[in-house]
């Protein structure tokens, strides 16, 4: 960088300030972009992933209500009660299907674990429906017992299997959400490290390579000032044993040309 030696000190200082400004602006832009990306990602986790996971948990409740209403129907002895619990089973089934359709719409990337879970419940619904319809026609204790036994044999095994699969799906969604959160934390840490590195590089570029050039310019400026006084150097030393009238030691000085 010998070309810097031919620039005035004011220009060099301005170059350093400009370089620091460029590094600062670049660091701010980088940090702003990273923060925006992190904010968008966190918003996605909260508004989409977490909400869909909550809906999936609610869907499990609807499936459990379906099975519960089926057994309440088998124990009912009145036509009004049969109609009420039959309607509840139908409502619970439709609610489960509707909720899981919404979850799949919001999390298409999780289709591989959502579709098999929904398919398990479809099999359970298909197995339970005949027993439920039969239970809706019973009013006597003997017929109710038969309806309950039929539900226990035909409906419960597949329903339990589907519920267990649904729990695993929810656990997988929660684990996926946690992984996304951990990745965002790593991204934030990376952004912080890059900001510090950029700041350090900026300080080095602004202060290190040009420091000698500025000092050289300063030395030449001082030398020029010395030349303006005649180009002489002053050399002083304390005189041996000499004191003035106030008791201060005398100094002897002489001048010589550079």
**Are residues 141 and 152 both part of a single domain?**
yes
* Domain end (from 169, 185, 207): 207
Do 126 and 29 lie in a common domain? Answer: yes
List CB contacts of 9: < 8 A, sequence separation 6 or more. 214, 217, 218, 221
Asked whether residue 167 falls in the same domain as residue 230, the answer is: no
Q: What is the mean pLDDT of residues 192-199?
A: 71
Asked if residue 216 and residue 115 are part of one domain, the reply reads: no
Q: Structural domain of residue 227, as residue ranges?
A: 210-257
Q: Please give the model's pTM, rounded to 2 decimal places.
A: 0.60
Within-domain flag for 85 = yes
The reply to whether 82 and 153 lie within a common domain is yes
- Report the run of H or E that residue 240 belongs to, with start and end: strand 232-243
The reply to whether 18 falls in a domain is no
pLDDT over 90 at 31, yes or no: no
- Phi/psi for 140 (5° steps) reads -95, 155
Burial 211-231 (b: 16+ CB within 10 A, else e): eebbeebeeeeeeeeeeeeee
- The helix or strand, by DSSP H or E, that contains position 142, with its residue range, turns out to be helix 141-154
pLDDT digits (tens, 9 = 90+) for 97-108: 999 999 999 888
| CATH classification of the domain holding 48 | 1.20.120
53 band by pLDDT with thresholds 50, 70 and 90 = confident
For 257, the token pair is: 């040309």
* C-beta separation of 154 from 123 below 8 A: no
Radius of gyration (Cα) for the chain, nearest Å?
A: 43
> pLDDT by residue (tens digit) across 207-222?
555 455 545 554 555 5
Q: What's the rounded Cα separation, in Å, for the pair 183 and 188? A: 9
Q: What does the alpha-carbon distance between residue 173 and residue 162 come to, in Å, rounded to a whole number?
A: 17
Percent of the chain with pLDDT over 70: 60
Q: Contacts for 215-224 with beta carbons within 8 Å, 24 or more apart?
A: 216/5, 217/5, 217/7, 217/8, 217/9, 217/12, 218/9, 221/9
């Amino acid at each position: 960088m010998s070309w810097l030696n031919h620039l005035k000190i004011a220009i060099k200082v301005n170059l350093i300030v400009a370089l620091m400004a460029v590094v600062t602006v670049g660091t701010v832009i980088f940090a702003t972009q990273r923060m925006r990306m992190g904010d968008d990602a966190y918003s996605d986790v909260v508004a989409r992933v977490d909400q869909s996971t909550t809906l999936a948990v609610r869907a499990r409740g609807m499936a459990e209500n379906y099975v519960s209403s089926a057994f309440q129907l088998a124990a009912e002895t009145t036509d009004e009660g049969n109609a009420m619990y039959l309607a509840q089973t139908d409502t619970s089934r439709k609610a489960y299907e509707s909720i899981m359709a919404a979850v799949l719409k919001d999390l298409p990337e999780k289709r591989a674990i959502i579709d098999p879970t929904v398919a398990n419940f479809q099999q359970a619904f298909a197995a339970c429906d005949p027993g439920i319809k039969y239970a809706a026609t019973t009013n006597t204790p003997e017929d109710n017992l038969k309806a309950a036994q039929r539900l226990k044999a035909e409906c419960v095994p597949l329903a339990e299997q589907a519920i267990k699969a649904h729990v695993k799906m929810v656990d997988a969604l929660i684990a996926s959400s946690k992984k996304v959160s951990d990745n965002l934390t790593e991204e934030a840490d990376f952004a912080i490290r890059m900001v510090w590195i950029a700041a350090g590089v900026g300080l080095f570029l602004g202060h290190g390579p040009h420091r000698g050039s500025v000092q050289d310019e300063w030395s030449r400026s001082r030398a020029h000032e010395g030349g303006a006084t005649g180009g002489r150097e002053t050399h002083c030393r304390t005189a041996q044993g000499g004191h003035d009238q106030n008791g201060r030691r005398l100094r002897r000085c002489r001048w010589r040309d550079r």
